[in-house]
Structure 1
Amino acid sequence: MREPGRPDPEPLLRRVQEEEARALRAKLKVFFGAAPGVGKTYAMLSEAQERRKEGFDVLVGVVETHGRSETAALLEGLEVLPRQELAYAGQFLPEFDLDAALKRRPSLILMDELAHSNVMGSRHVKRWQDVMELLDAGIDVYTTMNVQHLESLRDVVAQITGVIVRENVPDTVLERADEVELVDLPPDDLLVRLKEGKVYLPDQARHAQDHFFRKGNLLALRELALRHTAESVDAQMRRYMASEGIRKTWAAGDRLLVCVSPGELSERLIRGTRRMAGALGAPWMALYVESRHHLRFTEEERARIESSLRLAEKLGGETAVIEGAGTLVEDILTFAQDRNITKIVVGKPSRPRWVELLRGSTVDDLIRDSGTIDVYVISGEPGREPAAPLLRRGITSPARNYLLAALVVGLASGAAGLIFRRNELADIIMVYLLGILIVATRFGRGPSLLASILSVAAVDFLFVPPYLTFAVTDFRHVGTFAVMLLLGLVIGNLTERIRAQARLARGREQRTHALYRLGQELARSAGSAALVASAIQNVATQFQSQGVVLQPDEHGRLQRPEHPLAFPLNEQELGVAQWVFDHAEPAGLGTLTLPGARATYLPLKGARGAIGVMGVLPEGAPRWAEPDQRQLLEAFANQTALALERALLAEQSAFDRQRADEERLRNALLSSVSHDLRTPLGVITGAVSTALETPDLAEPARRELLQSAQEEAQRLHRLVSNLLDITRLESGALDLHTEWMPLEEVVGSALNRREMAAEAHRVRVSLPEDLPLVAMDGVLMEQLLLNLLDNALKYSPPGSPVDIKAWAAGKSLTLSVSDRGPGIPPGEEARIFEKLARGQVASNRPGAGLGLAICKGIAMAHGGHIQAVNHPQGGAQFLVMLPLGTPPSLPEEAL
């Protein structure tokens, strides 16, 4: 344990590292205002001129003067970065050129209107993303923004003004700022500027004054801007105090802290603190220090602590539960100094004065050691806070322990009598102290107190003259007895404290291990379903309860769980869970909202709001009624929410990638097919039109035209058939009508097709006579062979042959189609069977790149496969392997 008042080295090292990183990174300064027209751009340009005079390389990235002459005058002498022109909706719009700024690399760049949305076609959607990239490149940035553009205040601004602001900046961007300068202007002065046309053009100014620029709206926005700037400055002050090691409180702004205890006075203290904070307009929080006495509190006292903390949250205060490291006063003051608390509220002590003289007064010690922090002592209601007896805590032990303590004292007496002579009083006393130590370590404080008293009585009765009496003739022994009794009490108290600290340490270890185990299992879970299962199992194990995780549908309605470990929900419980999801607040059992529910429901909050609800149904009394267990349950919910959000984002990313691939494939297919459809349609239209519009056309010419139209129609038919086939293959709607038939029949039928007849003389067929029958769909296999032949003829040199061969080996029949073309480039053997894959060699026969993909699908539908290799004599060879079976035997009548 570190010494009181000595800084913890780990947070100190972390702060030093953060300060070093902050000193090296680029600086961001935000000129912050309540509304347009308060002078943010003017203030930014004024300071930029000062930096230029100091020798800084200042570049104007984006500055919007809105026609204000006094603002435009401040641009004189500053280099302005030319904007790029981006096409959008039929016109060219100027936009910030990020690449040019990075190439120019100034010391400081000015970026007006941080919340601006970039023109489509820019690298980033928002200007604040451009700013973050500039900062990452080491360039300092000055920028401007209004309070209504802050993401966390979007709902508040909409409620005040009735206007939903679409352009928002994440709070983390403003938190990243090294300096936030408030540019303020009273609402009356701003309205005067608006009427004078210094904010908007006259027509726009009248519309703005009737809607957004009403005085009430401006007052509310001004208060929001002032408060947010104060919070930013306060965060900077606290960082400075931490970096400089300043432990005392700086009362730059009031912060109240109320201390919670198991007594009934706590709720009165919380309400009083809330009223005081409201009067001061200051933030406040409630603190409970989990000391070694926490494990000995009754169920009623633990429930009272939990109720007090929930009351503080209900009244708008922040709550904190810390583990005691030193004395109660040290822990409270250390926490108050870390949080820059200026006022501490405690209850007036109700114990008798003599008890405080013996045990000390927490209030007195707090007032004495508080330094610059004010301490407010509030009186309780008469009769509400009973005085606790001096020895009420820690002495209640089973009767068996007291009997064992008496037995230990008896054994110590026997051992002392046997080993030592009566005049060796010091050695005898050591034996009794050893017995007291054994009792204290094994049986608790109460039995150790009894052992101390019995030990003093036994020493006096057995070993101090006159023997076998309690009379004392030598008054020097009285001091010995007093010291012996005091040592016994001290040993008992110290031992009990060590036992309590050990129990607290075990509890902390169990909670830490539970969170570690949950984090490990969530990290190993792949997908949201497995993650939900892990969360439910860990909640059930840790809290002896049943769990459920509910997720919304696309309409924001929670769906009933499908996991077998989840407990069933009726309509009432589902309604409570829906309320939790809609309001992002806990509800149900043990809360102040809908407490009649059977289970406790906690919102699973992600970066963009609630993403689900966790429900916990206890088996008996809920284990999370105590503050530490409640915090552990909330930590479980937070861990689950983070992991679930990660899984959902990963699933959404995979879905988006799939959609993008499908869209890219669709566009490529349309682009390819559109050309292949247009060409035969053009030929058909031209041939038929010529034949119809030329009455005196010679019969040979007319026949040639019609033959050309027929060939192109057959090409068109084949292309449409391919499209339909690939669609059926992808949708799983391909039905096989298999029958046992010879391969020669399929080959002959394919060669007799009209579109193949003209090229049939180039095809050489070599099929053994003893080929077995194959179970196949004749129509589909014919289509497969036609596609392979068409591909081979397309890539073969004119006049070169195409070979069809087949052979049976083992349990498969192989069909081979080979050509004498350029072959297949290395590494492309598998890719050519993908959709839209085309050969690299140009062909005078256009294609959509679907034929081989259809061949692969038909082969797989028959339980076989297809592969492409380069023929040893040159060209490509396609091998289709089909499984062989046992054909049914023919009836004897057919023989």
Structure 2
Amino acid sequence: MDNRPNPDALLEKVQRDEVQARRGQLKIFFGSCAGVGKTCAMLQAARQQQQKGVDVVVGLLETHGRVETAQLLTGLDLLPTQAVNYQGRLLAEFDLDAALARKPALILVDELAHSNLPSCRHPKRWQDIDELLAAGINVYSTVNVQHLESLNDIVGQITGIRVRETIPDKVFDGADDIVLVDLPPDELIQRLKEGKVYLPEQATRASRNFFRKGNLIALRELALRRTADRVDAQMRYYRQDQAIYHAWQAKERLLVGINCHANSENMVRAAARLAASLRADWLAVYVETPAEQSLTVQQQEQLLKTQKLAQELGAETVSLSGQNRAETLLAYAQTRNVSKLVLGKSHVHGWQRLWKQALATEIHQRANNDIDLYLIGKNTPETKTNLRQQSQQTSPTSATTSLANYGWAAATCSLVTLATAGLIQVFDLANIIMLYLLAVVLITIRLGKGAGIFASFFSVAAFDFFFVPPRLSFTVADTQYVFTFAVMLVVALIISNLTARLRYQADIATYREQRTASLYAIAKELASSLTTESIIDISHEHLDPLFQAKTYLLLPDLTDKIVCTATATTTISNLDSGIAQWVYDHQQAAGIGTNTLPASPLLYLPLKAPMRTRGVLILQPSQAQLLRQPEQQRLLDTFASQIALALERVHFVDVARDALVNMEGERLRNSLLSTISHDLRTPLTSLIAMASLLEKNLNQPKDALEITHYIQQQALRMNQLITNLLDMARLQTGGVTLNRQWHAIEETIGSAIHACQPSLDHHIIRTDVPPELPLVLFDAILIERVLCNLLENACKYTPVQSIITVSARMSEQQLIVSVKDNGAGLPTGMEDKIFAKFTRGDKESAQTGVGLGLAICQAIIDAHHGSIKATNIDTGGACFTFTLPASEPPPLTAEEPEDP
């Protein structure tokens, strides 16, 4: 084997080292969950660097109230944080510009998966760290296993909690160093009870939910496995960089060599049992050599069956091409750091022993001592017979083709014989031999190895019969010609074999070039497509000729039902929409070459994109076996992934376009409403003032006074409507700044009831507010506005003397306020829709209004990071409930007594 370093790999390493030399280094302290000690370990490592004279700065670090963490910060330079105004609150964020200006040798930035506030430069903190690394600054950071994007859904299934803040796996894999900080679950739970992870009130909730022992064990295993995978990848990269080709058995990995014979299934099962007992990864590898270039249909089906069995048993299947099967298997085994090689026991019979060795024998001679070799025996004597029958069976088409090739080979040699027969007096016999050898080369290039071997024997026979004395006879007068015949035959066979290998390599290179060109072409065109129709056209254009099949894309409607159009049924015969829907729903392939409905003449592939399945790709091949080949299936899967990604990109382009149109429309509507409201307010104010003056003139007739009073009431109502429009526009555009102060909710409820007293005169008002409620941080004016809107809403839609109850209570760090009535309640199905703008519960109601009051309530509560909902009471009436986040109020400071 050639163990020289790969020049391309060396060049890639040099380029990677040059880039790495300019960038800073990232060290991640990795743990299974909060509380294992990542931040403390990071601070201890930073203090060690500081003792070595390294310029260390703490960019941002959260102590979470832990005393031991705060103590480790002593003596380290702290970078001032950046105060960011977010919804009326000042929050501390990492100051990236200050860090770049300070440019320390090492900076500590906690919580790698943190999401920055909208006004920051980057949406994610890992992007801030990437900019620091690009500036040549070394960074220490921390992250938990649940924040890795690839494991996010698994952690969610285990714990029942889906973490929103994640980092791409490429950030984790690209880190220069990973430090695993591990802690047994029992010790972590004890730390939680001691208040070393969360504050006591938070620790109680955490122990009942996320920090259950079973969750901690599962998260610990995930963290250990992810770290082990990274270490294994580091080891493989190191072996590749250092040109180390013998295996390092740090982790067991098996490779089973499969072929197109039925005995391969036994090898696969044996390898699966061995891998399971060793808890090792394993690979099933097929090597296509020139000798196996033209397989029969039965052999192709057997190979595909073996590969599917390996995949079902958990193997990674790989197909390779090479001149020598043993050399190719060993080279790939060393690349993948394989420790054990599983092969079938094979024998070489008869005269083949002169130049051919059994595969296991050849690998044993070539392999180093660092790979263990396992031989799997054949089960029954019938296997040999079956293998012989398989190798002898050919399809009618291939048999006809072989006979035609042999006929063309004989005709070519005969043509050389006729051409040189008239030149026997001029040409020397050696020149005639060269012409025959040239014919053998041409035949092999054009017709293949079998025809070339046949031409070798035919040429020797023709040369003996027509040109060697005595001519027109196979008798040889001079025995030296026997040696000439032997050399001629050997040279012809060698040339035929070498030419066949060159042709095989050229065919493989051409196939790979065509595949690469096809992938590049479709990827390029899909990347520039902006509509679903263009994606469908591009798919037809590339897939139909490449796979020799009719193809069609079926896409779902808004209800996730596959739409089977008339064009689809015309293009693809025997199309079954039920199968297509099943493939879409279950995200599994069906039809030709699959385990689901394999008798179907079509292949149904789900178009799986990262977010969801985007449709179904259907192929109707001209020959079913074309889609059974493993390489074709892999290529088809790649094309399907490209199409799915393009469909998802176009979908989100449409979503973004619709969102932009809606935003612009909303902005225009708010601007228009604001302008109209401002223009109407001045004449309305004058109208209210004039009506008020007229109402004070008691000398008017009674009818005139009633009309004046009605005008004043309607003007006031319109003025309230304009106020609502303006407030809604200000709330949606962020023009309202919350003035949060510590207030008692009972005072705000009392103010709201007093403000609405004219409307409440004909209703019974009851309150249920415990006196021991703590102070809550909110904007009293806006919350009073919410209560007023809810009270007025209850007055409008309930009969006279109805009971309206206002209650408040505390529950799990939040204040819950409810306004109930005993009226008719909300129409069925309107509970969630009632808070939309310009929505009224009963459109046919005689009550005036445009449906903005509840929308304003929701906007105000959302600005307070609370929630609001509407429900119907079983005994009759409606209940509107809103919540406000509550925290511990600041301690009251005692006033200093005045000096006498």
> Could you say which residue in structure 2 is the equivalent of 1:608?
611
**8 Å CA contact retained: 1:293, 1:500:** no
> Could you say which residue in structure 1 is the equivalent of 2:240?
242
Equivalences for residues 272-291 of structure 1 within 5 A: 272-291=270-289
Equivalences for residues 616-655 of structure 1 within 5 A: 616-619=619-622, 621=624, 623-655=626-658
Out of 366, 375, 380, which is 1:369 matched to?
366
1:335 and 2:332 matched: yes
**8 Å CA contact retained: 1:395, 1:445:** no
1:664 and 2:674 matched: no
Equivalences for residues 196-235 of structure 1 within 5 A: 196-235=194-233
**Aligned partner of 1:19: which letter?**
D
Shift of residue 298, structure 1, vs aligned partner: 0.9
In structure 2, distance between residues paired with 1:443 and 1:617: 31
Distance 1:469 1:104, change over 3 A: closer
> Could you say which residue in structure 2 is the equivalent of 1:355?
352
In structure 1, distance between residues paired with 2:390 and 2:45: 67
1:151 and 2:149 matched: yes
> Could you say which residue in structure 2 is the equivalent of 1:65?
63
Distance 1:552 1:365, change over 3 A: same
**8 Å CA contact retained: 1:292, 1:500:** yes
Shift of residue 136, structure 1, vs aligned partner: 4.2
Shift of residue 689, structure 1, vs aligned partner: 1.9
> Could you say which residue in structure 2 is the equivalent of 1:548?
552
1:626-681 CA-partner distances (Å, limit 9, x unpaired): 12222221221122123223323332332232223223223322332221121221
**Aligned partner of 1:591: which letter?**
T
> Could you say which residue in structure 2 is the equivalent of 1:683?
686
Shift of residue 596, structure 1, vs aligned partner: 5.2
> Could you say which residue in structure 2 is the equivalent of 1:308?
306
**Aligned partner of 2:240: which letter?**
A
**8 Å CA contact retained: 2:9, 2:241:** no
Query: Which is worse superposed, 339-348 or 173-182?
Result: 339-348
**Aligned partner of 1:483: which letter?**
V
**Aligned partner of 2:365: which letter?**
R
> Could you say which residue in structure 2 is the equivalent of 1:433?
437
In structure 2, distance between residues paired with 1:377 and 1:420: 58
Structure 1 unmatched runs, 5+: 720-895
> Could you say which residue in structure 2 is the equivalent of 1:186?
184
**8 Å CA contact retained: 1:182, 1:229:** yes
Shift of residue 93, structure 1, vs aligned partner: 4.3
Out of 300, 311, 318, which is 1:320 matched to?
318
In structure 2, distance between residues paired with 1:192 and 1:287: 49
RMSD, aligned CA: 3.9
**Aligned partner of 1:361: which letter?**
A
> Could you say which residue in structure 2 is the equivalent of 1:761?
none
Out of 469, 472, 486, which is 2:490 matched to?
486
Shift of residue 25, structure 1, vs aligned partner: 1.8
In structure 2, distance between residues paired with 1:626 and 1:549: 22
**8 Å CA contact retained: 1:265, 1:385:** no
> Could you say which residue in structure 2 is the equivalent of 1:476?
480
Distance 1:537 1:83, change over 3 A: same
Out of 77, 80, 92, which is 1:79 matched to?
77
1:345 and 2:349 matched: no
Shift of residue 401, structure 1, vs aligned partner: 4.6
**8 Å CA contact retained: 1:292, 1:504:** no
TM-score (norm 2): 0.70
> Could you say which residue in structure 1 is the equivalent of 2:383?
384
Query: Which is worse superposed, 48-57 or 641-650?
Result: 641-650
1:751-795 CA-partner distances (Å, limit 9, x unpaired): xxxxxxxxxxxxxxxxxxxxxxxxxxxxxxxxxxxxxxxxxxxxx
**8 Å CA contact retained: 1:587, 1:600:** yes
1:359 is paired with a residue whose SS is coil
**8 Å CA contact retained: 2:551, 2:617:** yes
1:20 and 2:18 matched: yes
In structure 2, distance between residues paired with 1:407 and 1:587: 48
1:369-407 CA-partner distances (Å, limit 9, x unpaired): 222333322223222244559997999855455455445
Structure 2 unmatched runs, 5+: 723-900
Equivalences for residues 434-453 of structure 1 within 5 A: 434-453=438-457
1:532 and 2:529 matched: no
**8 Å CA contact retained: 2:348, 2:358:** no
2:624 is paired with a residue whose SS is coil
Distance 1:46 1:362, change over 3 A: same
**8 Å CA contact retained: 1:440, 1:495:** yes
**8 Å CA contact retained: 1:195, 1:205:** yes
Which entry has the higher C-alpha Rg, 1 or 2?
Answer: 1
Shift of residue 183, structure 1, vs aligned partner: 0.6
In structure 2, distance between residues paired with 1:571 and 1:462: 61
Out of 497, 516, 521, which is 2:501 matched to?
497
In structure 1, distance between residues paired with 2:414 and 2:170: 70
**8 Å CA contact retained: 1:150, 1:171:** yes
> Could you say which residue in structure 2 is the equivalent of 1:265?
263
In structure 2, distance between residues paired with 1:127 and 1:391: 61
1:608-640 CA-partner distances (Å, limit 9, x unpaired): 353433232335525321122222212211221
1:602 is paired with a residue whose SS is strand
> Could you say which residue in structure 2 is the equivalent of 1:512?
516
Distance 1:106 1:457, change over 3 A: closer
Out of 693, 696, 700, which is 1:693 matched to?
696
In structure 1, distance between residues paired with 2:165 and 2:257: 42
> Could you say which residue in structure 1 is the equivalent of 2:813?
none
In structure 2, distance between residues paired with 1:116 and 1:563: 50
In structure 1, distance between residues paired with 2:573 and 2:695: 75
**8 Å CA contact retained: 1:187, 1:215:** yes
Distance 1:101 1:659, change over 3 A: farther
**8 Å CA contact retained: 1:396, 1:446:** no
Shift of residue 503, structure 1, vs aligned partner: 3.6
TM-score (norm 1): 0.71
1:419 is paired with a residue whose SS is coil
In structure 1, distance between residues paired with 2:473 and 2:601: 66
In structure 1, distance between residues paired with 2:676 and 2:63: 52
The alignment of Structure 1 onto Structure 2 pairs a total of residues equal to: 704
